[in-house]
């Protein structure tokens, strides 16, 4: 349980290479974003659709990597944990509207707390990866969080730190 | 339906639930437990009828409260049936009931704020699982899904406003997987559904049931592949 930070592929370059739209705010990255041979092979976690609805319902802007009307398939892993899709936070968003990250994580945390309502405390676990683009050179770091949903609210300062690094 | 009529129904349902909860124990008389099951099934039918009325009259909150009553009735019914099945030496079927019960208790909490106290009940059932049943080996499947449909409105899930797990007009929103292909099967510690488990494995003279430890005759479908464990997937996936 906790947070780990590792290097991640340059999302700007990778999206460009695959002919995807380059995300300028928050985006959901497919589970195989780094390894997919083409964008037609992209696979989203099933929960990606929930996050999309959730953010839209709170007027949070999201970019789609795939040009319309293309749509990625989903992978449903039937596990008890709530595994969130990988979120991408662009350097542009962190410059223009950093508060959007706090709102996004609050919205997500509130939904997951509701999702686990009534479950024994030991079962309430969430896993999420957040890819943060650094201002200036667009290099990326991945934050992996594994723990209680309420801990998501502690991630914004880490995201800000990585973006400004 | 006016507020007084709603109150009357709530009181009646609470009274049935309180009476039936007494029978959630292995020591209770099986005949009385069966009567409690019949009462809970009647409650489920009544809830269904009232829910239709609540929806027709535009009362979403009452429809969701009735959904919560349906969940708690299902929970108690499952637990009482689990004890009955254990007394009848049917532990595999009893396990399925055990797993249904906390899922229903958790669902009741999600259905309406009036059931927030039921979280403790799920913990009690978790204890029953650990104390009464032997450890199990769980299976989880991974599926590639081309389309996800919203169970509430039928549109592509993620493009409507509904959210999986939330109650809407007396029904939970869930994701209906369409155009599916199998991706992988894994042994996991915490599956979404503990009814997906290995039920027996090949042993000298047949198949050993992981629950009873008895050797049973090999089922015809398993005869060609002696090393393959049999997987019970109660979800029908």
Confidence band for A118, pLDDT divided at 50, 70 and 90: confident
Selected residue of A32, A40, A51, A78 to mutate for chain B interface (largest B Cβ count, 10 A): A78
Confidence band for A121, pLDDT divided at 50, 70 and 90: low
- Domain residue spans of chain B: 3-132, 138-232
Residue A153: predicted pLDDT: 86
Q: Is B109 on the interface with A (CB under 8 A)?
A: yes
* Per-residue model confidence as pLDDT tens digits over B69-80: 999 999 999 999
- For B32-53, the DSSP string reads HHHHHHHHHHHHHHHHHHHHHH
In this prediction, residues A144-151 reach a mean pLDDT of 90
Confidence band for B226, pLDDT divided at 50, 70 and 90: very low
Residue B114: predicted pLDDT: 86
Residue A77: predicted pLDDT: 79
Nearest to B145 among A76, A120, A123 (CB): A76
Q: Is B44 on the interface with A (CB under 8 A)?
A: no
- Domain residue spans of chain A: 2-164
- What would the two tokens of residue B115 be? 């059931």
Burial class (CB in 10 A: 0-12, 13-18, 19+), A17: exposed
* Per-residue model confidence as pLDDT tens digits over A60-71: 989 999 998 999
Determine contact, residues B150/B119, Cβ cutoff 8 Å.
Answer: no
A158 vs A140: CA distance, rounded Å = 13
**Three-class DSSP labels, A109-132:** HHHHHHHCCCCCHHHCCEEEEEEE
* Per-residue model confidence as pLDDT tens digits over A31-48: 999 999 999 999 999 899
Q: Mean pLDDT, chain B, as a whole number?
A: 90
Asked if pLDDT for residue B233 goes beyond 90, the answer is no
Residue B223: predicted pLDDT: 55
SS3 B25: coil
DSSP letter assigned to residue A79? B
Determine contact, residues A138/A10, Cβ cutoff 8 Å.
Answer: yes
Interface touch A75/B142, C-beta < 8 Å: yes
Is the bond into A69 cis (omega within 30 degrees of 0)? yes
Interface touch B142/A78, C-beta < 8 Å: yes
Chain centre to alpha carbon of residue B229? 24
In this prediction, residues B203-222 reach a mean pLDDT of 87
For chain A, list residues whose CB is within 8 angstroms of any CB belonging to chain B. 43, 46, 48-50, 52-54, 56-57, 73-81, 111, 114-115, 117-120, 123
Asked if pLDDT for residue B34 goes beyond 80, the answer is yes
Confidence band for B133, pLDDT divided at 50, 70 and 90: very high
Determine contact, residues B147/B178, Cβ cutoff 8 Å.
Answer: yes
Determine contact, residues B55/B71, Cβ cutoff 8 Å.
Answer: no
SS3 A97: coil
Nearest to A46 among B145, B190, B193 (CB): B145
Nearest to B166, CA basis, from B236, B95, B111: B111
B18 vs B26: CA distance, rounded Å = 17
Nearest to B201, CA basis, from B215, B188, B187: B215
* Per-residue model confidence as pLDDT tens digits over B156-183: 999 999 999 999 999 999 999 999 998 8
Residue B228: predicted pLDDT: 56
In this prediction, residues A117-131 reach a mean pLDDT of 81
Q: Is B138 on the interface with A (CB under 8 A)?
A: no
Q: Mean pLDDT, chain A, as a whole number?
A: 91
Shortest CA distance from A72: residue in chain B: B146
- Looking at the DSSP bridge assignments, the partners of residue A27 are A63, A88
* Per-residue model confidence as pLDDT tens digits over A65-91: 999 899 999 998 766 677 899 999 999
């Amino acid at each position: 349980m906790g947070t780990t930070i590792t290097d991640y592929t340059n999302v700007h370059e990778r999206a460009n290479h695959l002919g995807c739209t380059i995300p300028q705010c928050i985006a959901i990255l497919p589970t195989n974003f780094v390894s997919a041979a083409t964008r037609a092979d992209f696979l989203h976690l099933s929960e990606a659709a929930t996050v999309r609805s959730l953010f839209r319902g709170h007027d949070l802007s999201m970019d789609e990597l795939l040009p319309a009307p293309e749509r990625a398939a989903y992978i449903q892993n039937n596990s008890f944990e709530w595994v969130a899709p990988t979120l991408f936070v662009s350097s542009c968003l962190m410059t223009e509207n950093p508060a959007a990250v706090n709102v996004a994580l609050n919205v997500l945390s509130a939904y997951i707390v509701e999702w686990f309502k009534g479950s024994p405390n030991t079962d309430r676990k969430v896993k999420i990866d957040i890819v943060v683009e650094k201002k200036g050179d667009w290099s990326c770091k991945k934050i992996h969080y594994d723990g209680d949903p309420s801990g998501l609210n502690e991630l914004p300062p880490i995201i800000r730190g990585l973006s400004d690094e | 339906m006016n507020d007084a009529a709603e109150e009357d129904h709530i009181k009646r349902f609470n009274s049935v639930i309180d009476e039936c909860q007494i029978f959630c124990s292995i020591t209770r008389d099986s005949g009385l437990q069966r009567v409690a099951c019949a009462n809970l099934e009647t409650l489920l039918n009544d809830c269904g009828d009232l829910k239709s009325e609540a929806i027709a009259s535009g009362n979403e909150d009452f429809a969701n409260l009735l959904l919560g009553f349906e969940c708690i009735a299902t929970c108690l019914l499952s637990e009482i049936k689990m004890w009955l099945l254990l007394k009848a030496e049917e532990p595999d079927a009893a396990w399925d009931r055990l797993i249904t019960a906390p899922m229903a208790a958790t669902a009741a909490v999600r259905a309406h704020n009036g059931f927030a106290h039921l979280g403790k009940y799920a913990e009690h059932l978790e204890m029953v699982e650990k104390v009464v049943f032997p450890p199990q080996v769980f299976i989880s499947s991974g599926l590639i899904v081309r389309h996800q449909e919203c169970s509430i409105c039928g549109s592509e899930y993620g493009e409507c406003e509904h959210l999986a797990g939330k109650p809407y007009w007396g029904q939970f929103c869930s994701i209906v997987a369409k155009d599916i292909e199998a991706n992988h099967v894994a042994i996991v510690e915490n599956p979404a559904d503990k009814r997906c488990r290995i039920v027996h494995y090949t042993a000298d003279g047949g198949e050993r049931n992981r629950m009873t430890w008895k050797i049973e005759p090999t089922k015809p479908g398993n005869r060609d592949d002696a090393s393959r464990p049999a997987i019970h997937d109660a979800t029908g996936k």
